[in-house]
Amino acid sequence: MDIHEYQAKALLEKCGVEIPRGAIAYSPEQAAYRALEIGGDAWVVKAQIHSGARGKAGGVKFCRNEAEITAAAESMLGRRLVTHQTGPAGKLVRRLYVEEASDIASEIYLGFVMDRKAERICIVASAEGGMEIEEISADRPDSIIRVVVDPAVGMQTFQAREIAFSLGLDGALIQKAVKTIMGAYRAFRDYDATMVEINPLVVTRAGEIVALDAKMSFDDNALFRRPEISELRDKSQEDQRETFASDRGLSYIGLEGQIGCIVNGAGLAMATLDMIKMAGGEPANFLDIGGGASPERILKSFRAVLNDPGVEAILVNVFAGINRCDWVAEGVVRAVRELDLKLPLVVRLSGTNVEKGREILAQSGLDITTAETLAEAAEKAVAAWRGQRKAA
């Protein structure tokens, strides 16, 4: 789960990271009033969407007076901001963050990520902040500082001190940098984050170290014990197909194809996507129904797949171990009838109670195509999709 910049900054501030004064606004008038509350003679108005590279897309504007703040807010609110991370559809701007301008002397990149290969938290830092880490890594890989945290003892202050010295900071700033790095680590650890990124982390001309921008992502599987984090979720920034599915306990990732997939098991789901591609089609989604799928869960899965208006055919591929093929078949039949499904449907069942499951499908009297193998199912699904397109 992702959160907005202002929410990430609030969490980091609780852990001892310095942030500029700022406030959230939902209208141009409120944005101008927020600037008056903050005080000063220069402000930055930032669109709040779940994406980086907002500045390049016109989502961050420097303002010196009320008129400029109002104009900036009017140009952003209600607009779909398109960045290289949002895709061509962009994301709708519903709120703004008005922040005091900082007198920047230098910029730093600081990131905390979960290195799944090493099974450790990895800190990534660079004295060249303000750029995407991918650009820094490609152009100047030697400038990247990497430190791995031992989970048995957690991050130690000497590691933060080494990072601060490696960044080339002035001696007077080392202790402030250590406080910032340790604070960001605590936020990562205490809130079950999967990513904390401060870019840029700036050194001001007054000698302060301030988080000018921040991003945080969290482990969805840990949200049950982090209600304060769950409350920060903004569903308007998420893929609505994925939101619908996750709210019903389904593992779903939306793709750009036309063949909807309902599969049990992540590995089998990935193999199903590959087979559809090999057969000449494009999968519309990744959907793992999980183990012990009841007919009700199968029905929910169909609803999730059909939430995508681009779906033109559906492939159900279940290898039953914990699951039972007769439960799956009952769910398929129920879904076709209740949803009045008109799209081509291919079902491949294998494993526990497979004969009973196939019998349920055969005796349903519904237009359901069955297959013995995954390869056959993928070929039939692609053929049915092509036939549907020709008929249309």
Give one DSSP letter per residue of 244-279, joined into a string: HHHTTT-EEEE-SSSEEEEESSHHHHHHHHHHHHHT
User: 45 forms bridges with which residues in the sheet?
Assistant: 61, 98
Instruction: For residue 133, give both structure tokens.
Output: 């880490």
Which pLDDT value is given to residue 392? 64
* Mean of pLDDT values over 11-17: 97
What are the tens digits of pLDDT across the range 359-381? Answer: 999 999 999 999 999 999 999 99
Asked whether the whole model's pTM tops 0.95, one would answer no
Known binding positions for ATP: 46, 99, 102, 107
What are the tens digits of pLDDT across the range 174-214? Answer: 999 999 999 999 999 999 999 999 999 999 999 999 999 99
Catalytic residue among 5, 18, 197, 379: 197
Residue 154 identity:
G
Q: How many Å from the N-terminal Cα to the C-terminal Cα in the chain?
A: 39
Instruction: Provide the percentage of residues in the chain whose pLDDT is more than 70.
Output: 99
User: Where residue 141 falls among pLDDT bands split at 50, 70, 90?
Assistant: confident
Which pLDDT value is given to residue 292? 67
Known binding positions: 46, 99, 102, 107, 199, 213, 264
- Mean residue pLDDT of the chain comes to 92
* Mean of pLDDT values over 124-147: 82
Catalytic residue among 5, 6, 18, 109: 109
Which pLDDT value is given to residue 131? 67
Known binding positions for Mg(2+): 199, 213
Q: Write the CA distances from 249 to 287, 288, 298, 304, integer angstroms.
A: 11, 10, 12, 11
Check pLDDT > 80 for residue 125. Answer: yes
Task: Tell me if residue 100 is catalytic.
Answer: no
Domains of the chain plus CATH, in order, are 1-19+103-238 (3.30.470.20), 21-101 (3.30.1490.20), 239-391 (3.40.50.261)
Which pLDDT value is given to residue 88? 84
Identify whether the C-beta of residue 259 lies closer than 8 Å to the C-beta of residue 311.
Answer: yes
Task: Tell me if residue 33 is catalytic.
Answer: no
Q: Identify which has the larger pLDDT, 242 or 342.
A: 342
* Mean of pLDDT values over 108-125: 93
